[in-house]
Chain A
Amino acid sequence: MRDPSSLKQQFLKKWILGLQVCGSGKQNMSILERKEAIKLSADIALASARDGRTRWSRATIANASKHDDNKVLVQHLLAPESESLKKSSIGLVVRDNKRVRCKKILKWSCCVKRVRKSVSQVVLAKSIAKRMVNRKTRVLKSLVPGGEFMDDICLIEETLDYIESLRAQVDVMRTLAKATELVNGK
């Protein structure tokens, strides 16, 4: 596992930056807007803490950049690494997705539907298990950002990294929430 505390430090710095950017913009935001802003800046900060080395982080940044209102935020957060990271992440995501899509199209075109004859119990059980695994893999792919375009091995690696980052994010947010609670409570 990579150094968790440094990850948290990085994440927090960027997140606070992002929050400042958000907060300085509008006044009188509704609670939902605020929540979205918080979450968004947290996600982008988390993704940028990975410096574009993992696919899911690139995917989040790319997704965030798609919406115009978020672009400003993204730019600010990635300012140290500048536009290059954002562009590279978008470019990489597009390239990866294209490649995977082409592969899939090839596969589907070559695939032949097999007639299922009477199969033994073992084979049946195996196929059921396979189908379950496939179903769950699809669900996981929908959870991990940018996961639909990854193959199994990649997916598991990305999931590992994503879980680690999510944990750090949750920890930092929780302590921040408690701290603000306490400070406000006085």
Chain B
Amino acid sequence: MINRALLPAGGGENMLHCTDMTVLERQRARIKWQQEQQQQFQLQQQEISYFTELADVFHQAGVHEGGLSEVVTRSVKPDPGLVDNGWNNDHVVGYGVGLPYNNGLGFELNYGAISRTSSCPPEAVAAVAEATVKGSESVVSDMISSGAGRESSKKRKVDKVQNNSKAVAEEDTRDKRIKGCAEQGESKITEKNNNKNSRNNNTNKNSNSNKENSDETSKDNSKVSEVQKPDYIHVRARRGQATDSHSLAERVRREKISERMKYLQDLVPGCDKITGKAGMLDEIINYVQSLQRQVEFLSMKLAAANPRLDFNVDNLFAKEQAFPACSINFPTIGMSSDMTNPAYLQFNPAQQQLVACCGLDMGIDPPDMALKRTTSAPVSIPETFLDSSCFTQTHPPPTWDADLQNLYNVAFDQGRQTSFQTQPFTGSIEASNLKMEM
């Protein structure tokens, strides 16, 4: 790499003047450099030829962006000058062409594609070039008619290119690049295509075996085709299947359905082993029915448990207000929120009274007061717990329902009070706070 770094724009002689290198190294470097030069030169020859072709193309097309052709030709000229400077030639040339194209032609990409497709006839190149020009529909459509010389079809014009070309293997790469570069241009063009005759042609790797391109005929079943619909969903007809629009639409629809069924499989438990649509639908129906029945049952249970539809609203509201705040500041207060629940519910008669008050007094006390009472208590507690930081409690996951779960889980443990015996003094701080609040 040192050699490369030392290569100035002037030429190889400078290299030889460097005293750091031994004679042997210099010889080696010179040989390498010469080889590279040769390679570059060959590449450039190709590039130059392509560029000239492109320039011709653009001249012919009478591209309204006059600067385009100029740039192309200009970029061709410096090439010989850059012959010495081997290794970064690619970049320079490509750069020179790519830069002015701020309208997003992506010429650089095509440059790369072109240099590889050495055996492409000019028509193919022309079509490729035209494929990257955005927005000049008339130009492009001219190119289609002139370059391709075929009747228009539903396919994109790239397919027409491939009608002509003989080197097919590179088409895939070019295909994809063109697709990436010129979606808009193509879509406009295909709208203009009148003939709905589906000429199938070989663009896919699947049909490599059939790529003796002499048979560019429209056999429905033999080859792969690309069909473009008005909403630009690219559909590939599989080999050996019908390719008229109805069946393709059917296939799209079926694929969509099966894709969504897969999501459903993940969602509904026990659906992994079932493969048919009918079976899956069966499972889904059962699941939905069971969920709905559960909702009914639970609402009945709640109705039975609450003669007055009160649901300890204050209780829940307080917790709810406390929890979002807690879960937001999860790292610091999260675990203290966990502590607040047990503290809140469990700690002692003081708290039990608090809870009981909330539960029963809704009818009597105005809700506001109860809310104040309950919200103030949990809020003060986290602060005390922040001070006393010596906790070994497990961190709850920062979800709200987990907190609620902890609520009644700990309430279950009420009798045992195991978690609090290790920190009695902090508990007493709490209790004092609570008493103060109350």
Question: Which residues of A line the B interface, CB within 8 A?
Answer: 1, 5, 8-9, 12-13, 16, 19-20, 22-23, 27, 29, 31-32, 34-35, 37-39, 42, 129, 132-133, 136-137, 139-140, 143-144, 152-153, 156-157, 159-160, 162-164, 166-167, 169-184, 186
The 10 residue pairs across chains A and B that have the minimum distance between CB atoms? A23-B309, A34-B303, A35-B303, A136-B281, A173-B298, A39-B299, A166-B291, A38-B299, A5-B399, A156-B260
Instruction: Report how far A133 CA is from B258 CA in the complex, Å.
Output: 13
Q: Answer whether residue B355 sits at the interface, using C-beta atoms and an 8 A cutoff.
A: yes
Residues of chain B from 318 to 377 with CB closer than 8 A to chain A in the complex = 320, 324, 352, 355-356, 359
What's the minimum C-beta distance from B317 to chain A, rounded to whole angstroms?
7
* B285→A136 contact, CB < 8 A: yes
Given B281, B352, B408, which contacts A179 in the complex, CB threshold below 8 Å? B408
Contact with A along B244-269 (1 / 0, CB 8 A): 00000000010011001101100110
Instruction: Report how far A144 CA is from B281 CA in the complex, Å.
Output: 13
Instruction: Report how far A16 CA is from B318 CA in the complex, Å.
Output: 12
Q: Answer whether residue B405 sits at the interface, using C-beta atoms and an 8 A cutoff.
A: yes
* B408→A166 contact, CB < 8 A: no
Q: Which residues of A contact B302 (CB under 8 A)?
A: 35, 38, 173, 176-177, 180
* A19→B257 contact, CB < 8 A: no
With known contacts A16-B311, A143-B285, A163–B295 Cβ distance under 8 A? no
* A166→B295 contact, CB < 8 A: yes
* B303→A182 contact, CB < 8 A: no
* A19→B408 contact, CB < 8 A: no
The interface size of chain B toward A, counting residues with CB under 8 Å, comes to 57
How many Cβ-Cβ contacts under 8 Å join chain A to chain B?
A: 152
Instruction: Report how far A43 CA is from B408 CA in the complex, Å.
Output: 25
Q: Answer whether residue B411 sits at the interface, using C-beta atoms and an 8 A cutoff.
A: yes
Q: Which residues of A contact B311 (CB under 8 A)?
A: 16, 19, 176, 180
With known contacts A16-B316, A162-B288, A184–B281 Cβ distance under 8 A? no
Q: Which residues of A contact B313 (CB under 8 A)?
A: 16, 19-20
Given A22, A39, A132, A179, which contacts B309 in the complex, CB threshold below 8 Å? A22
Residues of chain B from 129 to 169 with CB closer than 8 A to chain A in the complex = none
Given B261, B303, B316, B407, which contacts A38 in the complex, CB threshold below 8 Å? B303
* B253→A153 contact, CB < 8 A: yes
With known contacts A156-B264, A182-B408, A31–B303 Cβ distance under 8 A? yes
Q: Is the interface of B mostly helix, strand, loop or mixed?
A: helix
Q: Answer whether residue B436 sits at the interface, using C-beta atoms and an 8 A cutoff.
A: no
Name the residue of chain B whose CB is nearest to the CB of A24. Answer: B309
Q: Which residues of B contact A172 (CB under 8 A)?
A: 401
- Apart from A39-B296, A166-B295: 19 A-B pairs, beta carbons within 8 A: A16-B311, A19-B309, A34-B303, A35-B299, A38-B303, A39-B299, A152-B253, A153-B253, A156-B257, A159-B288, A160-B263, A163-B291, A171-B401, A173-B302, A176-B302, A179-B408, A180-B305, A182-B408, A183-B359
With known contacts A5-B400, A160-B260, A183-B315, A173–B267 Cβ distance under 8 A? no
Name the residue of chain A whose CB is nearest to the CB of B253. Answer: A153
Instruction: Report how far A58 CA is from B411 CA in the complex, Å.
Output: 39
* A23→B352 contact, CB < 8 A: no
Q: Which residues of B contact A37 (CB under 8 A)?
A: 303, 309
Instruction: Report how far A92 CA is from B320 CA in the complex, Å.
Output: 34
Given B296, B298, B310, which contacts A174 in the complex, CB threshold below 8 Å? B298
* A184→B305 contact, CB < 8 A: yes
24 residue pairs A–B, Cβ–Cβ below 8 Å: A5-B400, A8-B401, A9-B324, A12-B320, A16-B316, A35-B303, A38-B302, A132-B278, A136-B285, A140-B281, A152-B253, A153-B256, A156-B261, A163-B268, A164-B267, A166-B295, A167-B291, A175-B404, A176-B311, A177-B302, A179-B408, A180-B305, A182-B411, A183-B312
Q: Which residues of A contact B261 (CB under 8 A)?
A: 156
Instruction: Report how far A110 CA is from B282 CA in the complex, Å.
Output: 31
Instruction: Report how far A72 CA is from B276 CA in the complex, Å.
Output: 45
* B277→A133 contact, CB < 8 A: yes
Name the residue of chain A whose CB is nearest to the CB of B256. Answer: A153
Name the residue of chain B whose CB is nearest to the CB of A25. Answer: B309
* A16→B306 contact, CB < 8 A: no
Most chain A CB atoms below 10 A, which of B257, B309, B316, B399: B309
Instruction: Report how far A147 CA is from B37 CA in the complex, Å.
Output: 70
Instruction: Report how far A5 CA is from B302 CA in the complex, Å.
Output: 22
